[in-house]
Amino acid sequence: MRGSGILLPISSLPSPYGVGDLGIWAYRFIDFLRGSGQCFWQILPFGPTDPFLDNSPYSSPSAFAGNFLFVSLEDLLQKGLLERKDLQGVPPFREGFCDYERSADFKKKLLEKAWVSFKGSKTPGWERFLEENQNWLESWCAFKVLKDRFEGKPWYMWPKEFKEFNPKVVERIKEEFEDLFFKEAFIQFTFFSQWERVKRYAEEKGILIIGDLPLYVTHDSCDVWANRHLFELDSEGMPLFVAGVPPDYFSSKGQRWGNPLYRWEALKEEGYRWWIERIRHNLKYFHVLRLDHFRGFAGYWAIPFGSEDAQQGKWRKGPGRDFFEALRKRFYVLPFVAEDLGIITPDVRELMAEFGFPGMKVLQFAFGDDFPKSPYLPHNFTPNCFAYTGTHDNNTLLGWFEEELSPEGKQRVFKYLGKRPHREGLVWEMIRLLMASVAQAVIVPMQDVLGLPSSARLNIPSSSKGNWRWRLKTSDLRSDLMEVLKEMSFLYGRAL
């Protein structure tokens, strides 16, 4: 399918409550996509986030759960679980900025009130949700209750009777803390019910949603706590090696992410059960999945746990073909996009080619010393790729051009464009390059559609503070932008 779309995290949607959510602006954004001829809405992982980890969507305490911050309070009001007065006295949240901390404080109180109103009701779908999601939901609810009981300490610092996971621990928590346990289940039921309605609305408008699946999970997560045997941990639950990447474009010392590594042999012995459940869960909620750090399936960088940075790591062989064959036997199609950026070796290319996964082309990488032979230049694209002006890890296109690109690089841009556009026109000329290319899909971050500078950047890799804060303003979904996008999408055969 030839098409184009926009990258915008749920957190970056407008909302009166400090962080984007699944309220009215999720639907208005879909209307914007439809009106501008787009086919895709790409989001970032929508799992719970941790303030201690800068609320990064790639550092979640669960690979399955949804983020309570994204729950629409207006929807709870319409269902009679909240009263109008509950939504009065909202703190003065700053427009265009994610205030995770104050939003969390505000929403937690109202979700507790909604749970009190919900308890004992015969709500359609509640019992079915508990049954269909039992494999991850019950361990998540128990994990959350224990987290609160032990004042936020990581699971590997809990008393031994709780640190050592087994089903009896979950049953004990379910019985002793029944109300708290099912409150967490209610939050997940609410989140996924709201998301399913958003997804259905997108489908009605002809929009496909691209989800994002991180390869690794966080050490202090329900997933590692409940599946210790699937990760490289010592007897105390601490990692032996952690994930990351060697020195590259983003960092001269590489990136030490800190996630525990999988015991791929143990996963294989179980028929990759945990991964299959994870993929099934995600394919229920997304039409396409971007596999973050895809090269880790072919080979991954293993860093000794005590290392300060990523330079001491070594390459190891990943599960490769065997893993994807197991997935192919379970699923009718594998609608994956492989994030194949960074150091890519032949085995990665072979894996992608065998299973037909499209890769990614990022235009910001195209104007270096390998110009004009760079694989990221549109004339070198092959059709089976998703082309981006930039990703969540890049500067905005304007910020990149003005602050990061060398004088030689700027000259290459002008040479490639065949013109020297003014500041306001530069971004649209770059978007046009991708739209006119043979790429199967073109995805543009919303900040680039708006032509914003580096102050709107979403994330700086290897930095741990101040990221994931940019948010769309209500005035940004302008009709003139819709018209420009629509015209360009129709011109290059990408419109709905």
Q: What is the 3-state secondary structure (H, E, C) of 22-84?
A: CCHHHHHHHHHHHHCCCCEEECCCCCCCCHHHCCCCCCCCCCCCCCHHHCCHHHHHHCCCCCH
Query: Which candidate in 50, 54, 393, 402 is catalytic?
Result: 393
**Please, are residues 288 and 208 in contact by the beta-carbon 8 Å criterion?**
yes
Q: What is the CATH number of domain 3-126+180-491?
A: 3.20.20.80
Q: Is 232 a catalytic residue?
A: no
Segments of 320-455 assigned E as strands: 336-338, 359-362, 385-388, 441-445
Six token digits for residue 378: 């549109």
Coil, helix or strand at residue 311: coil
Instruction: List residues bridging with 213 in a β-sheet.
Output: 291
Q: How far apart (Å, rounded) are the C-alpha atoms in residues 294 and 395?
A: 22
Segments of 232-287 assigned E as strands: 241-245, 255-260
Among 435, 431, 426, 388, which Cα is nearest to 405's? 426
> What are the sequence ranges of the domains in the chain?
3-126+180-491
DSSP 201: H
In 3-state terms the chain splits into helix, strand, coil percentages (rounded to 5) of 45, 10, 40
- What does pTM read for this prediction? 0.97
**Please, are residues 49 and 69 in contact by the beta-carbon 8 Å criterion?**
yes
**Please, are residues 190 and 146 in contact by the beta-carbon 8 Å criterion?**
no
Among 45, 70, 75, which Cα is nearest to 57's? 45
Among 229, 223, 246, 365, which Cα is nearest to 295's? 246
Q: Is 393 a catalytic residue?
A: yes
**Please, are residues 8 and 448 in contact by the beta-carbon 8 Å criterion?**
no
Query: Which candidate in 184, 339, 340, 448 is catalytic?
Result: 339
Query: Which candidate in 138, 184, 292, 340 is catalytic?
Result: 292
For 194-232, write each residue's pLDDT tens digit: 999 999 999 999 999 999 999 999 999 999 999 999 999
Q: Is 339 a catalytic residue?
A: yes
Collect all residues with Cβ–Cβ distance below 8 Å to 47 and sequence separation of at least 6: 57, 60, 61, 62, 63, 64, 65, 66, 67
Sign of CA dihedral 335, 341, 342, 345: positive
User: What pLDDT tens digit does each residue of the chain (496 aa) get?
Assistant: 899 999 999 999 999 999 999 999 999 999 999 999 999 999 999 999 999 999 999 999 999 999 999 999 999 999 999 999 999 989 999 999 999 999 999 999 999 999 999 998 888 899 999 999 999 999 999 999 999 999 999 999 999 999 999 999 999 999 999 999 999 999 999 999 999 999 999 999 999 999 999 999 999 999 999 999 999 999 999 999 999 998 876 677 888 999 999 999 999 999 999 999 999 999 999 999 999 999 999 999 999 999 988 999 999 999 999 999 999 999 989 999 999 998 799 999 999 999 999 999 999 999 999 999 999 999 999 999 999 999 999 999 999 999 999 999 999 999 999 999 999 899 999 999 999 999 999 999 999 999 999 999 999 987 889 999 999 999 999 999 999 999 999 999 999 7
Preceding amide of 407 cis, omega within 30:
no
Among 431, 447, 334, which Cα is nearest to 392's? 447
The values of phi and psi at residue 443, to 5°, are: -120, 125
